[in-house]
Homo-oligomer: A and B are copies of this chain.
Amino acid sequence: MSDGKHKIYEFIQSIYPMSEEQRHSVVQYFKPRVFQKNEYLLEEGRVCQMYYFLEEGYVRAYTHDHHGNDVTTAFYSPNQIVCELSSFFKRIPAQENIQALTDTKGWYITFDELQLAFHGMSYFREFGRLILVNSYAQLKQRMLSMLQETAEVRYAKLMESNPLIFQKAPLKMIASFIGVTDTSLSRIRKEYARHRS
Contacts and interface: CB of A to CB of B under 8 A. Distances in A.
Tell me how many chains of this kind the complex includes: 2
A63 interface: yes
A179 B135 CA distance: 22
Nearest to A66: B148
Contact of A65 (B73, B85, B148): B148
A132 interface: yes
Contacts of A146: 143, 146-147, 179
A90 interface: yes
Nearest to A86: B137
A98 interface: no
Contact of A119 (B85, B122, B129): B122
Nearest to A119: B122
Contacts of A63: 144
Contacts of A144: 63, 71, 73
Contacts of A65: 147-148
B119 A73 contact: no
B133 A139 contact: no
B132 A132 contact: yes
B90 A133 contact: yes
Nearest to A69: B148
Contacts of A37: none
B137 A139 contact: no
Q: Name, among A119, A139, A176, the residue most crowded by chain B CB atoms within 10 Å (CB to CB).
A: A139
B132 A133 contact: yes
26 contacts: A63-B144, A65-B148, A66-B148, A71-B148, A73-B143, A85-B133, A85-B136, A86-B136, A86-B137, A86-B140, A89-B130, A89-B133, A90-B130, A90-B133, A90-B137, A118-B125, A125-B125, A129-B129, A129-B132, A132-B132, A136-B139, A139-B139, A143-B143, A146-B146, A146-B147, A146-B179
